[in-house]
Structure 1
Amino acid sequence: MILTTCAVCATELGLTSGKKCGRCSTRYCGAACQVQHWKEGGHDQLCKKIKKAGGAEQYNANKKYSEAVAVAATACAEDTKGQTCYICTEAVHRHTGEGLVRGCACHTTEGFVHVSCLAEQAKILVAEAVENKLGGKALGERFGRWHTCSLCEQGYHGVVYCALGWACWKMYVGRPETDGLRSCAMQQLGSGLSAAGHHEEELSVKEAQLAMIRRIGASEHDTLAAQHNLATTYSSLGRAEESLRMRRDVYAGRLRRNGEEHAVTIIAAQNYATCLAGLQRFEEAKSVSRTTLPVARRVLGDSDDVTLRIRWTYAMVLYKDPAATLDDLRLAVNTLEDLDQTARRVLGATHPLASGIEISQQEARAALGITLRDTLAALRAREAAPPTGDA
């Protein structure tokens, strides 16, 4: 994780408080813990190694990156057996010895690659944009290679995304806090940790990023982005009310700043609707989804990941609402059947979104079946009941 706690007693230090080793910048809550670490914790043996690696934060990033790459390669071993990297054309990386991964939507014979090859590719593209002063748009597109496949143009997921998050943070951690690439790398790391389910570490990263952004006086855009990311983490940790308040603020901020047809506003609306659904505020969730869906289709297209998620959320609130009518359930099933086909075609059957839609489709069909049986039973009971009236 990003180093925000004492190396000995784990006291939370934020990004600025506490004491650092003068040589390697390992962080402590005070002199007592620093002395204890040197005498009993093995820091006397590690200090020079940490300094040589670039300091405590860099040393930690390097270590976490190596661990994450090993986990990703192991998780993908069966899927990548007998394949070669589409970048370096090797099965086992000649320098790092790492195995192959595939964590995007490539679902034929493409997309097999080493994490280090992806990282090198992204690093070069970003460096060229900076060196040639290509502007913010071009830089943003190139930075996207840290999280989006260049072949299928879909985002990485799971442990592969986590490994790329550590790769990105490892690359830019040494830059000043005011450097935009460092902040983007911190965001990338938080998203990667989230994708792998490491939510406590993710929380540490995202809280640290928001605190840093506020401290350096970053733009409203950057502040809203950091709040959006932190709200996602609150949801993952079950802190639903905190997440909802932040989602509502972010959505309002995006509407005011960017307008309803901007992609970031559409994403904010989808996240707000999802949070409302999680708290079983179904009517509010339906209202936000119905308002946002036609805008998303017009701006992003029917096959876009965000549009698919908006439709998925809308279908879920239709069939999960205890007050759902027969028409609501039929609409939910029809929507999910269509979504299932689109998600499989665009993302592949193993993508988390496609898998989630398939589960929802089964739940919606079950809910429709139960309602149909109950409706039929009620009709039969009514027909079998003796007539009432005057004698």
Structure 2
Amino acid sequence: CWKTYLGRPEGDSYRQSAMQQLGSGLSAAGHHEEALSVREAELAMLRRLGAPEHHILCTQSNLANTYAAVGRDEEALPMRREVYSGRLNLNGEEHGETLSAANNYAKSLLTLKRSEEAKALLRKTMPVARRVLREEHRITLKMRWNYALALCCDPSATLDDVSEGVSTLEDAGRIARRVLGGAHPTTEGIENALRDAGAALAAREGDCVTSVCEAVAAVNLLDGS
């Protein structure tokens, strides 16, 4: 219980572990507002203590996820950018934690409709993920999912952009189904996005709407996570 460790010094490892577990437990239970206050306090404590960079980056990533969960996307974005930059400096561009941070950063950019920036980031990091982690890795699949969304949701998207997005989802979906199985959330998300992107493409080809963005909105294209 968290209260057992409340009276211990901030530097006590058991107190720090209990605080981290409390935040994770609240998030897992869907109590994101409560988790937010715990994670903010945890990050402030670690900074006061001069904790190792790896520990701080993990806590920042958790806090950014919680900001996103409560709809505070403008606050999640700079924190995810900072985590990505920190991972690059600490671990290098080929490390799994760096690539995961890049995907999270791209997701925040997409949420805030900054598709061009998301595409630029993913065009730089996806080839690294495909080379180092391989095509079947979940991070690689999620990067391709988000890249397809960036292509389809860009207000200036052309027919070729949407076609590329559909092709990307088709390939990622085949790999996800083979490696993860049809019931896996990543597979289901990619296949749902593919269905909706295909509808957007058909609408675009038939001139049923005036822009790809309207087509995407019409079929409620899902976000990659």
Q: TM-score higher than 0.5 here? A: yes
| Residue aligning to 2:3 | 57
- Provide the C-alpha distance between the structure 1 equivalents of 2:204 and 2:62, rounded to a whole number of angstroms: 38
Q: Is residue 122 of structure 2 the alignment partner of residue 286 of structure 1?
A: no
Q: State the 1:354 CA deviation.
A: 2.1
Asked if the contact 2:64–2:79 (Cα under 8 Å) also holds between the matched residues in 1, the reply is yes
Correspondences of 1:366-385 after superposition (within 5 Å): 366-374=199-207
SS in 1 for 2:206: helix
- Provide the C-alpha distance between the structure 2 equivalents of 1:202 and 1:243, rounded to a whole number of angstroms: 15
Deviations 1:72-94 (A, max 9, x none): xxxxxxxxxxxxxxxxxxxxxxx
Q: State the 1:287 CA deviation.
A: 0.4
Identity of aligned residues (%): 57
Correspondences of 1:1-391 after superposition (within 5 Å): 57-58=3-4, 177-178=10-11, 183=16, 186-187=19-20, 189-374=22-207
Cα 1:229–1:322, aligned 2, differ >3 Å: closer, same or farther? same
- Provide the C-alpha distance between the structure 2 equivalents of 1:243 and 1:181, rounded to a whole number of angstroms: 28
- Provide the C-alpha distance between the structure 2 equivalents of 1:374 and 1:240, rounded to a whole number of angstroms: 33
Letter of the structure 2 residue corresponding to residue 307 of structure 1 = T
Asked if the contact 2:2–2:18 (Cα under 8 Å) also holds between the matched residues in 1, the reply is no
Q: Number of residues paired by the alignment?
A: 209
- Provide the C-alpha distance between the structure 1 equivalents of 2:50 and 2:131, rounded to a whole number of angstroms: 35
Q: State the 1:349 CA deviation.
A: 2.7
Asked if the contact 1:270–1:289 (Cα under 8 Å) also holds between the matched residues in 2, the reply is yes
- Provide the C-alpha distance between the structure 1 equivalents of 2:152 and 2:97, rounded to a whole number of angstroms: 27
- Provide the C-alpha distance between the structure 1 equivalents of 2:53 and 2:2, rounded to a whole number of angstroms: 31
- Provide the C-alpha distance between the structure 2 equivalents of 1:278 and 1:342, rounded to a whole number of angstroms: 25
- Provide the C-alpha distance between the structure 2 equivalents of 1:231 and 1:280, rounded to a whole number of angstroms: 18
Cα 1:288–1:229, aligned 2, differ >3 Å: closer, same or farther? same
Asked if the contact 2:2–2:19 (Cα under 8 Å) also holds between the matched residues in 1, the reply is no
Letter of the structure 2 residue corresponding to residue 255 of structure 1 = L
The structure, 1 or 2, with the larger RCO (C-alpha pairs under 8 Å, 6+ apart) is 2
TM-score (normalised: structure 1): 0.49
- Provide the C-alpha distance between the structure 1 equivalents of 2:135 and 2:14, rounded to a whole number of angstroms: 32
Asked if the contact 2:118–2:150 (Cα under 8 Å) also holds between the matched residues in 1, the reply is yes
SS in 2 for 1:374: coil
Letter of the structure 1 residue corresponding to residue 133 of structure 2 = L
